[in-house]
């Protein structure tokens, strides 16, 4: 039974809630209003798209994200997986703390807000959680950003121009001016198109904050990510000049 979400998030006309109950657990999925009633429960199951021959790609990371095509549009289905020490205990189970604190619901709300504000993010489509006792599992669907590649993948191909580094700095500053603290700003979560059009992805645990030192912490995290990539190369792709170019554009 569908109902419009009217608390703890976007306005009621922005998000539709549908309850779920079945052998795999009970929970709900939430659909952005722009996609109406088109999204159904099977959309969150990789085997559904595989059986239809609709899978057209995958993205790496902690949990592989599936790219599928439906009616000429490409979507990204991401299953939430744990990282760090928590992954030794469970690779995709999260402690249930209430629907409003479920990670896919929170991320979908953040994406709705950012997308409505005109920030360069993938369009949000839907999110799902499935409870089993005191834990839950989760998935998120967004539109694919066509023609994009991660900053990490781009640097694997060679140096990025200074104009490209400036574009990255300006993009990050737009999010910081909006008060958005990205929980995992790294070279894999920054996407480029034609080297100078920049997007951010993966807003799990992201939140709005007042201006503060968290912005410097975001940049420091990105710097560590770039250094880790360069540690595997013979020559640096993000040296002092490139980093200063990014910072100058951010300022």
Which of the following is catalytic: 92, 184, 204, 230? 184
Residue 184 designated active-site: yes
Q: How confident is the model at residue 37 (pLDDT cuts 50, 70, 90)?
A: confident
| Alpha helices for the chain (secondary structure H) | 46-51, 103-116, 151-157, 162-177, 214-230, 240-250
Residue 237: phi, psi to the nearest 5?
A: -100, -20
Domains and CATH numbers, the chain: 2-143 (no CATH), 149-250 (1.10.510.10)
* Distance from C-alpha of 21 to C-alpha of 29, rounded to nearest angstrom: 11
Task: Return the percentage of the chain with pLDDT > 90, whole number.
Answer: 79
* Distance from C-alpha of 77 to C-alpha of 140, rounded to nearest angstrom: 6
Residue 180 pLDDT greater than 60, yes or no: yes
Residue 84 pLDDT greater than 90, yes or no: no
Tens-place pLDDT, residues 38-70: 899 999 999 999 999 999 999 875 557 999 999
Tens-place pLDDT, residues 183-197: 999 999 999 999 999
Residue 223 pLDDT greater than 70, yes or no: yes
Tens-place pLDDT, residues 112-161: 999 999 999 999 999 999 999 999 999 999 999 999 999 999 999 999 99
Q: How confident is the model at residue 21 (pLDDT cuts 50, 70, 90)?
A: confident
Q: Is the alpha carbon torsion for 88, 102, 76, 186 positive or negative?
A: negative
Predicted pLDDT of residue 24: 65
């Amino acid at each position: 039974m569908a109902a419009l979400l009217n608390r703890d998030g976007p306005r009621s006309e922005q998000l539709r809630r549908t309850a779920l109950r079945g052998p795999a657990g009970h929970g709900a999925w939430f659909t952005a209003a722009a996609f109406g009633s088109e999204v159904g429960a099977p959309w969150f199951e990789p085997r559904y798209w595989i059986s239809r021959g609709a899978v057209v790609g995958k993205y790496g990371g902690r949990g592989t994200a599936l790219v599928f095509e439906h009616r000429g549009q490409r979507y990204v289905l991401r299953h939430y997986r744990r990282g760090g020490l928590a992954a030794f205990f469970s690779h995709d189970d999260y402690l249930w703390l209430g629907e409003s604190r479920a990670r896919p619901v929170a991320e979908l709300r953040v994406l709705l807000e950012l997308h409505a504000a005109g920030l360069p993010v993938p369009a949000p489509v839907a999110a799902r959680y499935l409870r089993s006792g005191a834990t839950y599992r989760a998935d998120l669907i967004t539109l694919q950003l066509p023609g994009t590649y991660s900053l990490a993948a781009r640097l694997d191909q060679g140096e990025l121009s200074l104009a490209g580094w400036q574009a990255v700095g300006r993009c990050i500053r737009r999010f910081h001016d909006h008060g958005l603290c990205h929980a995992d700003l790294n070279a894999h979560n920054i996407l480029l198109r034609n080297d100078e059009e920049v997007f951010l992805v993966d807003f799990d645990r992201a939140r709005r904050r007042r201006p503060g030192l968290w912005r410097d912490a975001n940049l420091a995290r990105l710097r560590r990510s770039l250094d880790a990539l360069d540690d595997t190369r013979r020559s640096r792709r993000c040296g002092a000049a490139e980093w200063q170019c990014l910072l100058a554009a951010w300022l």
